[in-house]
Chain A
């Protein structure tokens, strides 16, 4: 049986600009970040390009850097952003 969870998506910098959105609530049946990213890419433009796997996109779940194998739970905060350039 597929369970649906709700996660909060956060987007920053060039990805936020490309999507025209910094945050959204999202219902998903994905159980890891890879599945969630697949779902977002499948929405088509502008998500498909902004989150394309040919691009360097960093991911944080609940404000911890992680990779696409990170599991999701209901209520998780999942952020997608470009390489960081502080300092």
Chain B
């Protein structure tokens, strides 16, 4: 069975396994670029004890699939993979993986950043932090809108 391009899951992932599966048997590949997002213990001036990630089942997978489609049209890449965890996470935990393969490094680097910038403002996930002052929903950042705008895409996420 082929590996899916998008997985939303509560369980952790293994970067080496995912990269190995993504480039398995593909002799055209000369570059693999991956990004892993992890949970920090501080955000917006407060200590973060834990993070609860909510999403919109169904839409999340479709939205990220569409982003990967856009990345494949835009860049000369061979394969792509996104894993995003949901549920309760602790500092040090992995949250998100984006991995891309291509013949040369430039396309992989760019596509990886494009997908991540897109995901930050257009995929329906929401983070709630547990802090000493209580639980709070994380605010969207202007810098994430600007990151997507660099690719000529409006974020409309604020």
Contact = CB atoms under 8 A, between A and B. Distances in A.
Contact of A12 (B37, B56, B127, B158): B56
- For the residues of B in contact with A, the DSSP-based class is mixed
B121 A84 contact: yes
Contacts of A25: none
Interface in A17-34: none
Given A63-B58, A81-B56, A86 B140 contact: no
Contact of B95 (A63, A82, A83, A87): A87
A60 B126 contact: no
Contacts of A67: 156
A65 interface: yes
A65 B56 CA distance: 12
A4 interface: no
A64 B60 CA distance: 10
Nearest to A87: B120
Nearest to B145: A83
Interface of A: 10, 12-14, 56, 58, 60, 63-65, 67, 79, 81-87
Interface of B: 37, 53-56, 58-59, 62-63, 84, 95-96, 116, 119-128, 137-140, 144, 156-158
